[in-house]
Structure 1
Amino acid sequence: MPPPSPADAAHYLGDELVLAEHATHWKAYYGALLRPYLRGRVLEVGAGIGGTTRALCDGRPADWLCLEPDAALAAQLRARRAAGGLPPAVRLRVGTLAALPAAEGLFDAVLYVNVVEHIEDDAAELARAYARLAPGGHLLVLVPAHQWLFSRFDAAIGHFRRYSRARLRRALPTGGRVRRLVYLDSLGLLAAAASKLLRQTYPTLAQVRLWDRGLVPVSRRLDRLLGYGVGKSVLAVVENPG
């Protein structure tokens, strides 16, 4: 399946967001690394059905704006908020960052979790995000790693690419101070390679749970020992020094 055309940009092609809700250990892992930067006003781009929002918005940010271009996904997120499944600080806008009104102002953190790989011009998108940061604010990005792992799954959910640290660094905005640029989930790298060999379009729920409950807790310890130099995802933290 080819990458999505620009005309499809507002419609999300993937069907894995419900499966991703079960990756609680994984969300807790990267969440522990990102949470120190999630303060004040937070903009989450590509919020989907709110899985990341629910995992990371712990009530400390004063304002958490979810931006989601797909109206159907946004409707699910809105229903979750109405049912009390999200903190009161969470708001929702349907649309893209390029169309976000200037009146929304600047943010202390702009967050992309498994979103940038869906955007054809990633560098332009991240430059727009950086421009919405308050001085001292942080751009937070998590993306899948290693183009050699690009699989049927990546194609099915509309990925344009996977990233090395060097590839992500090239897409990051100039002028920003890179505070962190690391690989995460060293054992998950093996699971991703196995999935590609099996030519799977989507993992099963059992596979997601095996990876999340069996491998991620070990990766969390092993990654530290390996100096965060191996993994199936890349995490970047970029500061606006003001």
Structure 2
Amino acid sequence: MSTYIGNELELFAKATNWKQYYAKYLRPHIKGHVLEVGAGIGGTTTVLCDQTQESWTCLEPDEYMAEQIELRVKDNIHSCSVIAGTIDDLPQNATFDTIMYIDVIEHIANDRDEILRATQRLKPQGKLIILVPAHQWLFSPFDKEIGHFRRYNKKMLRSIMPTSLKETSLFYLDSVGMFASIANKFILKQLYPTSDQIRFWDKTMLPISKIFDAIIFYTMGKSLIGVWKKQ
């Protein structure tokens, strides 16, 4: 078991517009037997799992957080099970149609090995979904404080993918939010945003991002989303 060093999950759980925004792009790919790696406290689970999936497994190495997921989902997501551990703690024969890493890969020192292990757990034609913070030049004290090893651009994310995976889509989201990240790195230099700042970003800045992202064809943003299919 491991203990997660950040405490931002409860804070960002309030970013409901953001979660619904990226969920719109992920839901078409989430089918069958689903594995959510690094499920945290279940905030993403409750947004993405609509119970049309055959099963949903939350994998979380922090035992306390795994307990929080169970409390969050037990009464309203009956297809969901929780495992406290890493991908190596799954049953040996367990495979999945969809494997997701939502704001997780950046916390893993050897990201390439992690993706390889995940690929071995994917069924043929299965989907690997990844959402990560974008642009290493935006790496800030906040990233360091919550245990990020890196941020990603498209080239970096593509470089860790095994040849057995074919890229389906790769694009940036939240172009306006990127400027908030720039402001924090170079001006505010905060270890954590405040609740008011999260609320302003989610309620005021994000609706503008939704418009601008489409105008610039999703070529810029503070987050990067990728989907790959196993051949």
* Residues 186-235 of structure 1, C-alpha deviations (whole Å, 9 max, x = no match): 00100111111211000001100111111112212211211111000110
- Other structure's SS at 2:178 match: helix
- Give the AA of the match of 1:187: V
Match of 1:168 in 2: 157
Match of 2:109 in 1: 120
- Other structure's SS at 1:102 match: coil
Q: What is the rounded CA distance, in whole Å, between the counterparts of 2:164 and 2:211 in structure 1?
A: 33
Cα deviation, residue 81, structure 1:
2.6
Name which of 123, 126, 132 aligns with 2:121. 132
The answer on 1:150 being equivalent to 2:139 is yes
- Other structure's SS at 1:227 match: coil
The answer on 1:54 being equivalent to 2:51 is no
Match of 1:217 in 2: 207
Q: What is the rounded CA distance, in whole Å, between the counterparts of 1:18 and 1:115 in structure 2?
A: 16
Match of 1:5 in 2: none
The answer on 1:226 being equivalent to 2:208 is no
The correspondence of residues 53-202 of structure 1 with structure 2, limited to 5 A, is 53-82=45-74, 84=75, 86-103=76-93, 105-196=94-185, 197-202=187-192
For structure 1, the 5+ residue unaligned runs are 1-8
Q: What is the rounded CA distance, in whole Å, between the counterparts of 2:85 and 2:178 in structure 1?
A: 33
Cα deviation, residue 19, structure 1:
0.8
Q: What is the rounded CA distance, in whole Å, between the counterparts of 1:171 and 1:192 in structure 2?
A: 25
Match of 1:19 in 2: 11
* Residues 141-163 of structure 1, C-alpha deviations (whole Å, 9 max, x = no match): 00001111111110110000001
CA contact (8 A) 2:46 2:73 kept: no
* Residues 37-74 of structure 1, C-alpha deviations (whole Å, 9 max, x = no match): 11110000000100000110011111000000000111
Q: What is the rounded CA distance, in whole Å, between the counterparts of 1:228 and 1:22 in structure 2?
A: 24
Name which of 13, 32, 45 aligns with 1:40. 32
- Other structure's SS at 1:172 match: coil
- Other structure's SS at 1:181 match: strand
- Other structure's SS at 1:109 match: strand
- Give the AA of the match of 1:160: F
- Give the AA of the match of 2:84: V
CA contact (8 A) 2:2 2:62 kept: yes
Cα deviation, residue 98, structure 1:
2.0
- Other structure's SS at 1:182 match: strand
For structure 2, the 5+ residue unaligned runs are none
Q: What is the rounded CA distance, in whole Å, between the counterparts of 1:174 and 1:11 in structure 2?
A: 32
Q: What is the rounded CA distance, in whole Å, between the counterparts of 1:67 and 1:114 in structure 2?
A: 14
**TM-score using structure 1 length:** 0.92
Q: What is the rounded CA distance, in whole Å, between the counterparts of 1:141 and 1:184 in structure 2?
A: 13
Alignment: residue pair count? 230
